[in-house]
Amino acid sequence: MKASNKHEWWQSGIVYQVYPRSFMDANGDGVGDLQGVLAKLDYLQWLGVDAVWLSPIYPSPMADFGYDVSDYCDIHPLFGTLQDFDRLLAECHRRGLKLILDFVPNHTSDQHPWFLEAKSSKTNPKRDWYIWRDPAPGGGPPNNWLSNFGGPAWTLEKETGQYYFHAFLREQPDINWRNPQLREAMHNVLRFWLDRGVDGFRVDVIYHIVKDDQFRDNPRNPEYKPGMNPHHEFLAVYIADRPEVHDIISGMRKVVDEYPERTLVGEVYLPIERLVMYYGEGGAGVHMPFNFQLITLPWSAAIIRDAIARYEAALPSYGWPNWVLGNHDNPRIASRVGRPQAKIAAILLLTLRGTPTMYYGDEIGMHDVPIAPDQVQDPFEKNVPGMGLGRDPERTPMQWDPSPNAGFAQPQVRPWLPIAADSTTVNVETQRGDTGSILSFYRRLIMLRRAKPALSVGGYSALPVEGNLIAYVRTDAECSDGECFLIVLNLGMTDARFAVEDFRGRVLLSTHPDREGQAIAGDVTLRGNEGLIVELSR
């Protein structure tokens, strides 16, 4: 369904991230797979999302759970086959769902045939597809660049005596986008999937893909203190967000633009003013650089009000906004803000101006699952243990029903990560039958958003409020009846009074069902954790 003729599907629609290892295990090995995703498409359609983004499903030694790709143009046997993929894509399209793949252009696996060739000799034609340097004078790594996952970003390749650069694990050598053959090979990867019919890509760490060509040392971070993430000892000035990156992204964009109605979404963790540069000059960059502010900022109404205003002001005229509440790299929203506030977060995500991206399981209020030391899977946690950096807690299996493995896998199977202890109550089946559940709330919110274009593609204006409140109006400029909606959210746990002269309307949806249908005029006192969507009368 197109919410508006003037908008593309990726502007009006809702994106739902599936972490395939953890969504649904159809073949009984404890790891989710494509047949599992296929089996749950009816659920996603019922929920009302528009597009599914799959984290990597390609062949991979799984050093970083698929973000170490050893073949960009095939499917890992754990997940299925290319035939399974084609079937999944066809079934998505039959249901009106779009399918977005994860494209990992910063690095390959060290087992990728390109790297095996490249490391075989200094004169191999693929040598320059990766980033090689001689040791520093006197030995050791060529400069002070650090890996995001702990330790130096350089590993010595003994046979040829040079170091290769890896922004992440040593099993993830960075590729050299300055090399024209490499560029063409990566463009052909995009074409391979676009030809099969995929609707777009989420591009992994897109802001990292070019490094300083002079290999200058990164400056020390004056705010770094022992005990912090060791990667932050230096500022990533020379390894990320380099000016040359935009030209490379515009090359990717040209490839995607060879096909109609496709989209590029970039993973970019940068301050807003830098982030918006990734729309590219005149829109030659990605369609949407992910806006992670609802993940990275403290859950404070004043801070979020300010962030929304700064974001709206910083967007270029051709930049379509977007919001993200969770992903496979960050603690879950329910754990960060608590379950009552998770509903408030859902309203923000689904009624702010811009495309929302949801993370699987957030719609049932899944929280981070504690991982015992002997259950740890994430290489980040293994490299930098005990600092709370591990990402396993937010990657645990989806909770489908109250059965022992939560319906993710058959009961006799051991899932690759543990199932949450509260899955007997926090699961899709139980919550579908409960009108007061967070899942029922999400669904009604999504249905309302689908029915009222003002809430997705309409105009936005902030209302001046203080304290724990956030308030704004969404208007449907295109609609002849000009519908207007007021959204008021209480991010605090105590009552908060909202008063704006001259407004009257009826509550369409609330975190507190007793409020729904109520007429309000002039002012309203919200209880703690209360949020309202009000249809304004004209």
State the residues that interact with ligand GLC by CB under 6 A: 64, 67, 104, 168, 204-205, 267, 328-329
Which residue lies nearer to ligand GLC by CB, 325 or 496?
325
Distance CA 125, CA 314 (A): 43
Which residue lies nearer to ligand GLC by CB, 67 or 360?
67
CA nearest 149: which of 378, 369, 372, 396? 378
- Distant-in-sequence, close-in-space partners of 188: CB < 8 Å, separation ≥ 6: none
Which residue lies nearer to ligand GLC by CB, 67 or 408?
67
At its nearest, how many Å lie between ligand GLC and the CB of residue 269?
A: 8
Q: According to the 3-state scheme, what is the secondary structure of 98-118?
A: EEEEEECCCECCCCCHHHHHH
Which residue lies nearer to ligand GLC by CB, 64 or 84?
64
Distance CA 21, CA 397 (A): 8
Which residue lies nearer to ligand GLC by CB, 75 or 104?
104
Here the contacts of 217-225 (C-beta below 8 Å, separation 24 or greater) are 217/143, 217/144, 217/145, 218/143, 218/144, 218/145, 218/146
- Distant-in-sequence, close-in-space partners of 353: CB < 8 Å, separation ≥ 6: 312, 321, 458, 459, 460, 474
Which residue lies nearer to ligand GLC by CB, 104 or 349?
104
Q: Which residue has the tokens 């509550």?
A: 507
E strand or H helix at 446: helix 438-451
- Distant-in-sequence, close-in-space partners of 197: CB < 8 Å, separation ≥ 6: 89, 93
At its nearest, how many Å lie between ligand GLC and the CB of residue 438?
A: 25
8 Å CB contact between 238 and 227:
no
Which residue lies nearer to ligand GLC by CB, 13 or 105?
105
8 Å CB contact between 285 and 253:
yes
Which residue lies nearer to ligand GLC by CB, 393 or 453?
393
Distance CA 306, CA 312 (A): 10
At its nearest, how many Å lie between ligand GLC and the CB of residue 290?
A: 10
E strand or H helix at 429: helix 428-432
Out of 42, 258, 306, 495, pick the active-site residue: 258
Residue nearest to ligand GLC (CB): 67
Q: Is 94 left (phi over 0), alpha (psi -120 to 50) or beta?
A: alpha
Q: Is 357 left (phi over 0), alpha (psi -120 to 50) or beta?
A: beta
At its nearest, how many Å lie between ligand GLC and the CB of residue 170?
A: 13
Count CA atoms within 13 Å of residue 199 on its CB side: 21
Tell me the residue type at 454: A
Count CA atoms within 13 Å of residue 440 on its CB side: 14
Out of 157, 204, 241, 394, pick the active-site residue: 204
Distance CA 370, CA 365 (A): 15
At its nearest, how many Å lie between ligand GLC and the CB of residue 104?
A: 6
* 234, β-bridge pairs: 220
At its nearest, how many Å lie between ligand GLC and the CB of residue 459?
A: 33
Which residue lies nearer to ligand GLC by CB, 204 or 530?
204
8 Å CB contact between 141 and 154:
yes
Which residue lies nearer to ligand GLC by CB, 205 or 239?
205
Distance CA 251, CA 308 (A): 30
At its nearest, how many Å lie between ligand GLC and the CB of residue 229?
A: 14
Distance CA 121, CA 157 (A): 10
**Known catalytic residue at 204:** yes
**Known catalytic residue at 212:** no
At its nearest, how many Å lie between ligand GLC and the CB of residue 106?
A: 7
At its nearest, how many Å lie between ligand GLC and the CB of residue 295?
A: 12
At its nearest, how many Å lie between ligand GLC and the CB of residue 54?
A: 13
Distance CA 106, CA 177 (A): 8
* 197, β-bridge pairs: none
Question: Annotated active-site positions, please?
Answer: 204, 258
